[in-house]
Amino acid sequence: MPNLKTSVAGVELENPTVLASGILGVTSALMLRVAHSDAGAVTTKSIGIEKRNGHENPVIVEVEGGLLNAVGLSTSANAFEELRGAVEKSPVPVIASIWGKTIEEFGEVAAMASECSPALIEVNISCPNVKHFGKVFGSDAKTAAQVTKAVKAETKIPVIVKLTPNVPDIGEIAKAVEAAGADAISAINTLGPGMVIDLKSKKPVLSNKTGGLSGPAIRPVAVRCVWEIYETVEIPIIGIGGVTSGKDAIEMMMAGASAVGIGTGVMYRGIGIFEDVCEEIKTFMLEEGYQNLKEIIGAGH
């Protein structure tokens, strides 16, 4: 039987599927449902230092091949309790996704999240939907490195830095965060931003006007980003962007991902997507004569 075990920054996963941040990761109950539905790991929605409402509705609109969203980094008042609840009961590693408005604040939120003992901390420097911050940290190599250092100084938990595809050279950012001490990289956050205009009201549909694109439409961009990052750094990569099937996951791993995030795919295939993708990976491995994922990860280079 093919072996689906993998690891990210020393954390062992039973299989490479990971619930991506922002999808079902708001409450511990939902994270536990995903954890019990064969996900290899689950990620919280990005948590900020204090309660924040995010943008007004509508915040999501379906488009061909995916979603456009501008949730606006909402944080519930009990986000840390939900994280703690998930960590205490989850059968699989829990990844705490964090964000901050300043470099120092990233460090503070990392320290607060660490008290809940997640397996990994994911630093979201890549949200395209919040003006004046979000965008800035992930699109400049120097700032991305400063955020990474600020987080590393506040925690002993391995740190994943989540990159944006909306930069001219993602390899340069990857190299900078690796040099600053990142233990892993996840890529990609949403692409864009994009816009949808309602023809009757003649206005952008999203309250924020623009939003980040996710889903199958962005998969080739995600695969290219992961491929470039793998060429540039030694640390492991969680490949995210448009994965909805086992073959998509295999492609992401061939590009260089040690694990594969699934977000929008949950909308298409339901919560059973983690189990289904694992079965499809196994079928592919049996057909092609692969025994374990090491033979696949990075094979596209």
User: Which of 67, 87 has the CB closer to ligand FMN?
Assistant: 67
In the window 210-229, what residues touch ligand FMN (CB under 6 A)? 214-215, 218
Q: Does 245 bind ligand FMN (CB under 6 A)?
A: no
Contact assessment for residue 157 and residue 149, using Cβ atoms and an 8 Å cutoff: no
Q: Does 75 bind ligand FMN (CB under 6 A)?
A: no
User: Smallest gap, in angstroms, from Cβ of residue 217 to ligand FMN?
Assistant: 8
User: Which of 136, 294 has the CB closer to ligand FMN?
Assistant: 136
Q: What is the DSSP string of the chain?
A: --B--EEETTEEESSSEEEPTTSS-SSHHHHHHHHTTT-SEEEPPPB-SS-B--SPSP-EEEETTEEEE-----B-TTHHHHHHHHHHH-SS-EEEEE--SSHHHHHHHHHHHHTT--SEEEEE---TTSTTTTHHHHH-HHHHHHHHHHHHTT-SS-EEEEEPS-SS-HHHHHHHHHHTT-SEEEE---EEEE--EETTTTEESSTTS-EEEESGGGHHHHHHHHHHHHHH-SS-EEEESS--SHHHHHHHHHHT-SEEEESTHHHHH-TTHHHHHHHHHHHHHHHHT--BGGGTTTTT-
Q: Does 60 bind ligand FMN (CB under 6 A)?
A: yes
Q: Does 84 bind ligand FMN (CB under 6 A)?
A: no
User: Which of 128, 171 has the CB closer to ligand FMN?
Assistant: 128
Q: Does 164 bind ligand FMN (CB under 6 A)?
A: no
| # residues contacting ligand FMN (CB under 6 A) | 26
Q: Does 93 bind ligand FMN (CB under 6 A)?
A: no
User: Smallest gap, in angstroms, from Cβ of residue 200 to ligand FMN?
Assistant: 24
User: Smallest gap, in angstroms, from Cβ of residue 286 to ligand FMN?
Assistant: 25
| Residue in 40, 264, 281, 285 binding ligand FMN, rule: CB under 6 A | 264
| Residue in 162, 193, 226, 235 binding ligand FMN, rule: CB under 6 A | 162
With CA atoms as reference, report the closest residue to 122 among 172, 188, 171.
188
| Residue in 6, 15, 46, 148 binding ligand FMN, rule: CB under 6 A | 46
Residue range at the interface with ligand FMN (CB under 6 A); choices 20-28, 83-91, 104-112, 136-144: 20-28
User: Smallest gap, in angstroms, from Cβ of residue 1 to ligand FMN?
Assistant: 27
With CA atoms as reference, report the closest residue to 66 among 252, 264, 272, 263.
264
Q: What are phi and psi of 124, to 5 degrees?
A: -85, 95
So which residues are the catalytic ones?
A: 127
Residue range at the interface with ligand FMN (CB under 6 A); choices 145-153, 168-176, 237-245, 288-296: 237-245
Q: Does 27 bind ligand FMN (CB under 6 A)?
A: no
With CA atoms as reference, report the closest residue to 222 among 237, 210, 235.
237
User: Which of 27, 124 has the CB closer to ligand FMN?
Assistant: 124
Chain residues in the site for ligand FMN (CB under 6 A): 20-23, 45-46, 60, 67, 69, 71, 97, 124, 162, 189-190, 214-215, 218, 240-243, 262-265
